[in-house]
Amino acid sequence: MNYFVKNDRGRYAVMPQSLPTVAVAASPQRFPVHRIYCVGRNYVEHTAEDGSHAEREPPLFFMKPADTIVAPGGEVPYPPETADFEHEVELVVAIGRTVYRALPDEAAAAVFGYAVGLDMTRRDLQRQARDLRGPWDLSKSCDYSSPCGDLRPVSRIGHPDKGRIQLRVNGRLRQDSCISHLIWSVPELIHHLSRFQVLLPGDLIYTGTPGGVGPVVAGDTLDASIEGIGSLSVKIV
């Protein structure tokens, strides 16, 4: 379904693409995705394996296109021009109201809900970009690179600040941590990001991954979960 127009071909030079959405758990409603912000290096154990050893440095933000969303049970085609496609399980925050320069103790009021997501990464391209001090876009923003589970609204689950976060590949545990280990908490991330951007309803924030990231190949099944928030399963094809 195209959410922008109803066969109004005379108005546009080309037909607009459909609006990406995420399911809201136990509801017929959908959450329209406006922008996807991602946070790098937000768990100590991942910064160590990343080689940066950064802790409490200003958060590192990058973006992905909204149409990289993949629904639970979906397929993720192995992308071109990489030999090292890796998984990163993350807590996803959905913004439900406009927020600008919010203080940390005000930021939580902007959250609509939470989900579990995957930040799929062409790691070899990311390393090349880092060596050249260039942008990460081609490594992070490939098609189908942002699987996202159903959103659990704050009105039902509150604001979880602890809970086990895990990722299994073909049933084998790869990533295992707790969202309480985030270097920068959700309110702090919203505070930092809203200093630079007006955050709008429909924005998603992928909050960073714990240690244990690793490669996947076609045929692998990825099962991600966050205790108290939900689960997500996709297949690499």
Task: With respect to residue 216, please indicate whether it lies within any of the assigned structural domains.
Answer: yes
Q: What total of structural domains would you count in the chain? A: 1
**Per the domain annotation, does 6 fall within a domain?**
no
Q: Does a structural domain hold residue 17?
A: no
Dist. CA 80–CA 60, nearest whole Å: 26
For the cut 70, the answer to whether the pLDDT of residue 7 exceeds it is no
The model's pLDDT over 31-90, given as tens digits with 9 standing for 90+, comes to: 999 999 999 989 987 565 665 655 678 899 999 999 999 999 999 999 999 999 999 999
Residue 45 is predicted with a pLDDT of: 74
CATH of the domain at 116: 3.90.850.10
Domain that holds residue 188: 24-236
202 falls within a domain: yes
Average pLDDT over every residue of 151-179: 97
Domain assignment of residue 32, yes or no:
yes
pLDDT, one tens digit per residue, over 113-145 is 999 999 999 999 999 999 999 999 999 999 999
In this prediction, what percent of the chain has a pLDDT beyond 70?
A: 92
- Evaluate whether residue 5 is within a structural domain: no
pLDDT in tens, 143-153: 999 999 999 99
C-alpha to C-alpha distance for 38 and 26, rounded to whole angstroms = 26
pTM higher than 0.85: yes
